Amino acid sequence: MRKRFPVFQPWISTVARLFLTGVFVLAGWPKLVDQEATVRSVRAFDLLPEALVRPFAFGLPLLELSVALLLLFGLGTRLAAALTGCLMVMFMFGIASAWARGLSIDCGCFGNTGTEVPDPVPGYIKDLFRDTGFFLVAAFLLRWPRSRFSLDGVLGLHPEPVPTGRR
């Protein structure tokens, strides 16, 4: 398997890139088009001072869509993967914090409104597992950013590995 990994790794990284692109488009676009719902979502977490709620709510979808573009084109793949990992940690912290403080809110992760939900614990668990999975995909991409059809490859930022001669 180790002998074949260098052959398959760029394709696996390409799939990871495109998968995370889809995640960020599906998460960022609804937040961008319904800014007031995003503001309600951010406010519901009760983690930021009121003065920062709107700027954060307006900036988050722009950041998510910017990361999606970087991943789509394979430009700055390692940086985009690191940003993805940081965002996932931030999201998991927010969800865990809401759970620990007994808040009954929808996470708003994919454009929901941050409204109250009767039994949020199953949702919190599902959201934490989902975001952990996204984090692991980003970690893979951070470690192995070389992928097919990427501007990084065109620009020589992740050149083909040199064979070591070991068999």
Within 8 A by CB and 6+ apart from 78, the residues are 141, 142, 145
Residue with tokens 């920062």: 52
User: What confidence score (pLDDT) does residue 159 get?
Assistant: 62
Mean local confidence (pLDDT), 12-22: 97
Query: Distance between CA atoms of 143 and 68, rounded to whole angstroms?
Result: 18
- Residue 86: pLDDT over 70: yes
Query: pLDDT for 41-51, tens place per residue?
Result: 999 999 999 99
- Residue 158: pLDDT over 90: no
Q: Give the model's confidence band at 165: pLDDT under 50 very low, under 70 low, under 90 confident, else very high.
A: low
Is 140 buried (19+), middle (13-18) or exposed (0-12) by CB count in 10 A? middle
Please give the DSSP secondary-structure letter assigned to residue 105: B
27 closest CA partner among 77, 63, 61, 71: 61
User: What confidence score (pLDDT) does residue 154 get?
Assistant: 85
Query: Distance between CA atoms of 35 and 41, rounded to whole angstroms?
Result: 10
Out of 29-38, 58-67, 109-118, which region has the weakest mean confidence (pLDDT)? Answer: 109-118
User: What confidence score (pLDDT) does residue 80 get?
Assistant: 97
Average pLDDT, the chain: 90
Q: Which residue has the higher pLDDT, 72 or 2?
A: 72
User: What confidence score (pLDDT) does residue 123 get?
Assistant: 85
The count of C-alpha atoms lying within 13 angstroms of the C-alpha of 73, restricted to the half-sphere facing its C-beta, is 11
CA angle (56 as vertex; 52, 62 as ends), nearest 5: 155
The count of C-alpha atoms lying within 13 angstroms of the C-alpha of 51, restricted to the half-sphere facing its C-beta, is 0
Q: Give the model's confidence band at 141: pLDDT under 50 very low, under 70 low, under 90 confident, else very high.
A: very high
